[in-house]
Structure 1
Amino acid sequence: MGSIVKELEKEFLPFVRIYKDGSVERLLGSPYVPPSPQDPETGVSSKDITISENPSISARLYLPKLEETHHQKLPILVYYHGGGFCIESAFSYDHQRFLNSLVAQAQVVAVSVEYRLAPENLLPIAYEDSWAALQWVASHSIDDGVNKEPWLMNHGDMKRVYLGGDSAGANIAHNMAMKAGAETLNGGVKILGTALTHPYFWGSGPIGSEPSEGHDKALPYLVWNFVYPTAPGGIDNPMINPFAQGAPSLAGLGGSRLLVSVAEKDELRDRGVSYYDLVRKSNWEGEAELVQVDGEDHAFQILQFETESAKTLTKRLASFMK
């Protein structure tokens, strides 16, 4: 018997192949790794939990090494991984390594959300899952006898909740901060701050140094159409283009602190800078900071984790939450 060759329906390179039997092959992304009771390098403990059975939403939780006498509560970081909404995972090696380091330095309890990916689950599902996860975290502010996660109950400070993410995950974090600014979280929990690293924003018209030639063939454009083909307004939907006409004012951003980080060689750089400028020009009452890193490309703090630039940026993100 020969092996059965699966018929290709379509491919979206360099990310995924979709076969006629409905299966999806992911071509990029780091391998899945188990959580660790105590990471030998950082002392950080991690474990996987289920937030919701139906829909299926899970997370990897992180807890820094605590002193025996430690009774003070720690800030909570709700983190959304990158990967163009279609690859990577909260359970992947790259994100585990990065978050172990960040959690150890920032001394936070982190909840790294495993939202469902396109193309099996097209947007807006990732946003819905991400909001459900944030509401689940906030529900730990209410002592109602319902099954609660001990790490959040015992160690998490509900007055210091941060959102964070890289790339598509930073896009999610921005959209969650907007939603948290407009709607109520469980127990009236408020977001304290948001850290966006190389946020994935785009739009129909080029800005800054983006080339006008072939703008609609650029990867950020193609990714959005692939993961959210039914988006109202297409590439100018406010979820991907916060500067679009009719987009809600960025003054409505939840929280009082914002850190936006961009990399010189990243094609998304100018969008990140414009976003920071736009937040500052809006009537948002918080404090915004911009970190620009020279000589580096998209998501270098995760993909080139060992480099000095990556370590410096991770340290900067940690100090933002301290």
Structure 2
Amino acid sequence: MRAPLGGGVVVDEKYTALVENVKQLLSEGSTEALTNLVDSLHPADVVDILELLDDSARSAFFHAIPAGKAADIIQELDPEDQTEVIRMMGSARSSEILREMDSDDAADLIGDLPEAKAETLLDLMDSEGDDVRELLRYDEDSSGGIMATEYVTVNMEWTVEKTLAELRHLAPEAETVYYIYVVDADERLVGVLSLRDLVIADLKRKISSIMSRNVLAVPVEADQEEAAQLFKKYRYLALPVVDNDNRLAGIITADDILDVVEEEATEDIQKIAGTMPLDRPYFATSIKELWRSRVVWLMVLFLAESITGKILQNFSTAMQSVIELTFFIP
């Protein structure tokens, strides 16, 4: 679950000291020392520190650290706070950070921005912007809407030796390398290979001889719940997404599915409680928002109860005469 800024982090001595340290480094302009500090912390812990900074300090923080580090931290925020961070920075810096984000996360963020702002950022993102534009074409609840385009593919005719050499160049840009997807000369998905199987294989063997041809994929237009069910059944870490010609379009990773499961759980809670749909996960929603989502249905129920009471009042004499009628009161 992504963390909301202002979500009520418990302040202890550790965070108090870190916050003061960050403030001091920002005031001194010590970007190298600040970067070293960020490197020593998990992005989720940095989010806790940001909660205790004002907007001006947050903006200075994201301008001071490398774009890649900023991207890792922003991806830990919930969607509403992600867009707020992007809004308070200039387009040039925002585009630098977005280029470093996973394509699916960047697409989700840009999709929540005003159209003019989104187009400006996409233009500044160059080739990465083209990838995000492609993802924005898909329905947000489809497999295409949650997939990433950073993945590793190898040709089935390659040797293990060539594949390992290529992997060294491709892996840093990929979202995951636990699975390596195998394609034919027409770029159609024909198999899958685990990193373990690749590493222990003889260097001269062809990929076609060690890959598994039993590769399960999900159509790009399929509902994200279908992908979630496959993850649940087979315990995958990633799942390929294919187009109508069985060409690889992207991959869905386990962390993307966690977000889907959380969304579905939130919807189920809302249905049980009789509330209006929420834009963020249940446990990341403020009490005020929860009350506002419930009050409409409470008013409807109050009105229905008032009408029922009025009807019962008009027929009170009949019910006193025939007690059995009370069993039919809704």
What is the TM-score normalised by the length of structure 1?
0.22
What is the TM-score normalised by the length of structure 2?
0.22
Q: Which has the higher helix share?
A: 2
Q: Which has the higher strand share?
A: 1
Larger radius of gyration: 2
Higher relative contact order (CA 8 A, sep 6+): 1
